[in-house]
Amino acid sequence: MRMVRAASALVLVLMLGGCATVRTLDAAKPGAPIVYSGTRLDWYSLNGGCCPRDRFGAEPPKYAAIDLPASALLDTLLLPFSLAAVLGLSLGVSGGM
């Protein structure tokens, strides 16, 4: 059981690099959607949208249908921060180097 949890955690961490939400977080594209950005990128890709890099600043994951539920969950968890960014509120949160 312990090995299954460790393997599941490892797979989850490896998948985050392909997650649409993670890809759009650092896209820094002016005018790109912020609220539910990863979910919207997956949905856009599934519906045959052209030029996702121009609209979202990131490429969608190869398997957008599989990524969609995970992106929706992560976008929901990050919703307070996304809304604060859209409203121009400074939460004093910084990251990166």
Look at residues 96, 75, 73 and name the one whose alpha carbon lies nearest to residue 24: 75
Residue 35 lies in a domain: yes
Apex 53 CA angle, 48 and 55, nearest 5: 75
| 57's tokens | 């600043």
Task: State the residue for tokens 């004093």.
Answer: 92
Tens of each residue's pLDDT in the chain, 97 residues: 888 887 777 666 656 667 888 888 877 788 888 899 999 999 999 999 888 988 998 888 888 888 899 899 989 999 998 898 888 887 776 665 5
Residue 9 lies in a domain: no
Measured CA to CA, the distance from residue 62 to residue 42 in angstroms comes to 10
pLDDT of amino acid 45: 92
Look at residues 41, 27, 29, 32 and name the one whose alpha carbon lies nearest to residue 74: 41
Residue 6 lies in a domain: no
pLDDT of amino acid 72: 92
CA distances from residue 92 to 4, 50, 73, 81, 85 in whole angstroms, order as listed: 38, 36, 24, 11, 11
Residue 1 lies in a domain: no
Residue 52 lies in a domain: yes
Structural domains counted in the chain = 1
Residue 94 lies in a domain: no
Range of the domain at 46: 18-87
- pTM, to two decimals: 0.74
